[in-house]
Amino acid sequence: MTYLSEGSDWNFELLADYDKAIADIAHNKYGLDTYPNQIEVISSEQMMDAYSSVGMPVGYNHWSFGKQFVEVEGRYRRGQMGLAYEIVINSDPCIAYLMEENSITMQALVIAHACYGHNSFFKGNYLFKTWTDASSIIDYLVFARNYIADCEQRHGVTAVEETLDSCHALMNYGVDRYKRPSPISAVEERKRQREREDILQKQVSELWRTFPQLQPAARTREAATRFPAEPQENLLYFLEKNAPLLQPWQREIIRIVRKMAQYFYPQRQTKVMNEGWACLWHYTLLNDLYDAGKVTDGFMLEFLQNHSQVVYQPPFSAPFYSGMNPYALGFNMFQDIRRICENPDDEDREWFPEMAGSDWLQTVKFAMESFKDESFIQQFLSPRLIRHFKFFQIMDDDRNDYVEVSAIHNETGYKKVRDALAEQYNLSIQEPNIQIVSANLHGDRALTLRHQRSDGRPLDEHSATEVLRHLHRLWKFDVHLESVENGTVTESYSMPPVTEPITVM
Amino acid sequence: MSYIIDRRLNDKRKSTVNRQRFLRRYRSHIREAVNDAVNRRSIQDMEQGERISIPQKDLSEPIFHHGPGGQRSIVHPGNKEFNQGDRFKRPEGGGGQGSGEGDASDQGEGQDEFAFEIDKQEFLNFLFEDLELPNLVKRHLEGAQVFKTRHGGIVSQGMPAKINIVRSMRQASMRRRALTAATRRRIRDMKEERETLLQQDQSPQRQARLQELDELIARLERRVERIPYLDTVDLRFNHHIKEPVPVSRAVMFCIMDVSGSMNQDMKDLAKRFFLLLYLFLERNYDQIEVVFIRHHTSAKEVTEEEFFYSRETGGTIVSSALKLTRDIINERYPVDQWNIYAAQASDGDNWNDDSPACAKMIEEELLPKMQYFSYVEVMPRAHQALWDHYETIMARHPGAFSIAQIDEPGEIYPVFRQLFKKRMEEA
Q: What is the mean pLDDT of chain A?
A: 86
Q: Other CB atoms closer than 10 Å to residue A236's CB: what's the count?
A: 24
Whether the predicted pLDDT of A332 surpasses 90:
yes
Q: Which residues of B touch A318 (CB under 8 A)?
A: 78
CA B372 to chain centre: 23
First to last CA, chain A: 78
Q: What is the mean pLDDT of chain B?
A: 80
Which band of pLDDT confidence, cut at 50, 70 and 90, is reported for residue B140? Answer: low
Closest-CA distance, B67 to chain A, in angstroms, reads: 4
Residue B177, C-beta contacts closer than 8 angstroms, at least 6 positions apart: none
Strands B71-76 and A392-397: antiparallel
Question: Helix A373-380 to helix A271-291 angle, to the nearest 10 degrees?
Answer: 60
Amino acid B181: pLDDT: 92
Contact A39 B2 (CB under 8 A): yes
Residue A227, C-beta contacts closer than 8 angstroms, at least 6 positions apart: A438, A439, A441
Amino acid B383: pLDDT: 75
Cβ–Cβ contact B111 with A under 8 A: no
Contact A405 B71 (CB under 8 A): no
Contact A467 B62 (CB under 8 A): yes
Amino acid A205: pLDDT: 65
CA A467-A472-A475 angle, 5° bins: 130
- Taking the C-alpha atoms of residue A166 and residue B162, their distance in angstroms, rounded to an integer, is 53
Closest-CA distance, B22 to chain A, in angstroms, reads: 4
Return the percentage of chain B with pLDDT > 90, whole number. 13
Amino acid A435: pLDDT: 92
Contact A48 B15 (CB under 8 A): yes
User: What is the mean predicted confidence (pLDDT) over A446-451?
Assistant: 92
Identify from B10, B53, B63, B83 which residue to disrupt to test chain A contact, counting A C-beta atoms within 10 A and taking the largest count: B63
- Taking the C-alpha atoms of residue A360 and residue A464, their distance in angstroms, rounded to an integer, is 47
Amino acid B106: pLDDT: 36
First to last CA, chain B: 63
Per the model's pLDDT, the better-predicted residue between A176 and B192 turns out to be B192
Residue B198, C-beta contacts closer than 8 angstroms, at least 6 positions apart: B210
Helix (H) or strand (E) holding A161: helix A157-169
User: What is the mean predicted confidence (pLDDT) over B281-304?
Assistant: 82
Q: Which residues of A touch B13 (CB under 8 A)?
A: 45, 49
Q: Other CB atoms closer than 10 Å to residue A455's CB: what's the count?
A: 13
- Taking the C-alpha atoms of residue A436 and residue A429, their distance in angstroms, rounded to an integer, is 18
Which band of pLDDT confidence, cut at 50, 70 and 90, is reported for residue A84? Answer: low
- Taking the C-alpha atoms of residue B354 and residue B346, their distance in angstroms, rounded to an integer, is 14
Closest-CA distance, A421 to chain B, in angstroms, reads: 6
Chain B residue with Cα closest to A466: B62
- Taking the C-alpha atoms of residue A394 and residue A389, their distance in angstroms, rounded to an integer, is 15
Q: Which CATH architecture has domain B247-420?
A: 3-Layer(aba) Sandwich (3.40)
Q: What are phi and psi of B380, to 5 degrees?
A: -85, 60
Tens digits of residue pLDDT in B216-246:
999 999 999 899 999 889 999 999 888 877 7
Best CA proximity match to A199, nearest among A236, A150, A143, A252: A252
Q: Give the closest of A48, A397, A405 to B84, CB-based.
A: A405
Chain B residue with Cα closest to A170: B63
Q: Give the closest of B61, B69, B116 to A456, CB-based.
A: B69
Contact A393 B75 (CB under 8 A): yes
What sections of A231-359 are H helices per DSSP?
Answer: 235-242, 248-269, 271-291, 297-310, 326-342, 346-351
Coil, strand or helix: which one is A18? helix
- pTM > 0.90: yes or no: no
Which band of pLDDT confidence, cut at 50, 70 and 90, is reported for residue B398? Answer: confident
Q: Give the closest of B59, B72, B115 to A396, CB-based.
A: B72
Closest-CA distance, B262 to chain A, in angstroms, reads: 44
Peptide bond into A228 cis (omega under 30): yes
**Cβ–Cβ < 8 Å for A313, B100:** no
Q: What are phi and psi of B158, to 5 degrees?
A: 170, -175
> Which of B129-133, B134-138, B347-351 is predicted least confidently?
B134-138
Highest-confidence range of A54-63, B69-78, B83-92, by mean pLDDT? B69-78
Amino acid B173: pLDDT: 94
Contact A467 B68 (CB under 8 A): no
Contact A457 B24 (CB under 8 A): no
Whether the predicted pLDDT of A304 surpasses 90:
yes
Closest-CA distance, B29 to chain A, in angstroms, reads: 14
DSSP state of A502: P
Q: Classify the phi-psi angles of B348: left when phi > 0, otherwise alpha if psi is within -120 to 50, otherwise beta.
A: left
3-class SS string, chain B: CEEEEECCCCCCCCCHHHHHHHHHHCHHHHHHHHHHHHHHCCCHHHCCCEEEEEEHHHHCCCCCCECCCCEEEEEECCCCCCCCCCEEECCCCHHHHCCCCCCHHHCCCCCCEEEEEECHHHHHHHHCCCECCCCCCCEECCCCCCEEEEEEEEECCCCHHHECHHHHHHHHHHHHHHHHHHHHHHHHHHHHHHHHHHHCCCCHHHHHHHHHHHHHHHHHHHHHHHCCCCCHHHCCEEEEEEEECCEEEEEEEEEEECCCCCCHHHHHHHHHHHHHHHHHHHHHCCEEEEEEEEECCCEEEECHHHHHHCCCCCCCCHHHHHHHHHHHHHHHCCCCCCEEEEEEEECCCCCCCHHHHHHHHHHHHHHHHCCEEEEEECCCCCCCHHHHHHHHHHHHCCCCEEEEECCCHHHHHHHHHHHHECCCCCC
Q: Give the closest of B7, B64, B78 to A41, CB-based.
A: B7
List the beta bridge partners of residue B374. Answer: B343, B402
Tens digits of residue pLDDT in A108-120:
999 999 999 999 9
Domain map (residue ranges) of chain B: 17-58+115-127, 160-239, 247-420
- Taking the C-alpha atoms of residue A415 and residue B84, their distance in angstroms, rounded to an integer, is 13
Amino acid A36: pLDDT: 94
**Cβ–Cβ < 8 Å for A479, A496:** no
Q: Which residues of B touch A314 (CB under 8 A)?
A: 77-78
Contact B84 A168 (CB under 8 A): no
B 66-85 near A (Cβ less than 8 A)? 66-80, 82-85
- Taking the C-alpha atoms of residue B243 and residue B249, their distance in angstroms, rounded to an integer, is 18
CA A336-A341-A343 angle, 5° bins: 85
Contact B77 A406 (CB under 8 A): no
Q: Other CB atoms closer than 10 Å to residue B251's CB: what's the count?
A: 22
Chain A residue with Cα closest to B12: A46
Closest-CA distance, A181 to chain B, in angstroms, reads: 24
Helix (H) or strand (E) holding A193: helix A186-208
Chain A residue with Cα closest to B2: A37
DSSP state of A87: E
Question: Helix B204-226 to helix B165-199 angle, to the nearest 10 degrees?
Answer: 180
Q: Which residues of B touch A96 (CB under 8 A)?
A: none
Whether the predicted pLDDT of B426 surpasses 50:
no
Per the model's pLDDT, the better-predicted residue between A200 and B209 turns out to be B209
Closest-CA distance, B55 to chain A, in angstroms, reads: 13
Closest-CA distance, B38 to chain A, in angstroms, reads: 22
Best CA proximity match to A329, nearest among A371, A370, A388, A392: A388
3-class SS string, A92-152: CCEEEEEECCCCHHHHHHHHHHHHHHHHHHHHHCHHHHHHCCCCCHHHHHHHHHHHHHHHH
Q: Which residues of B touch A326 (CB under 8 A)?
A: 102
Identify from B10, B20, B76, B117 which residue to disrupt to test chain A contact, counting A C-beta atoms within 10 A and taking the largest count: B76
Peptide bond into A244 cis (omega under 30): no
Whether the predicted pLDDT of A212 surpasses 60:
no
| Cα-based distances in Å from A395 to A100, A325, B84, B369 | 46, 21, 11, 82
CA B154 to chain centre: 32
Per the model's pLDDT, the better-predicted residue between B367 and A220 turns out to be B367
User: What is the mean predicted confidence (pLDDT) over A262-289?
Assistant: 93
Contact A66 B23 (CB under 8 A): yes
Contact B64 A434 (CB under 8 A): yes
Per the model's pLDDT, the better-predicted residue between A181 and B333 turns out to be B333
B 16-35 near A (Cβ less than 8 A)? 17-25
Q: Give the closest of B4, B66, B90 to A460, CB-based.
A: B66
Identify from A392, A427, A465 which residue to disrupt to test chain B contact, counting B C-beta atoms within 10 A and taking the largest count: A392
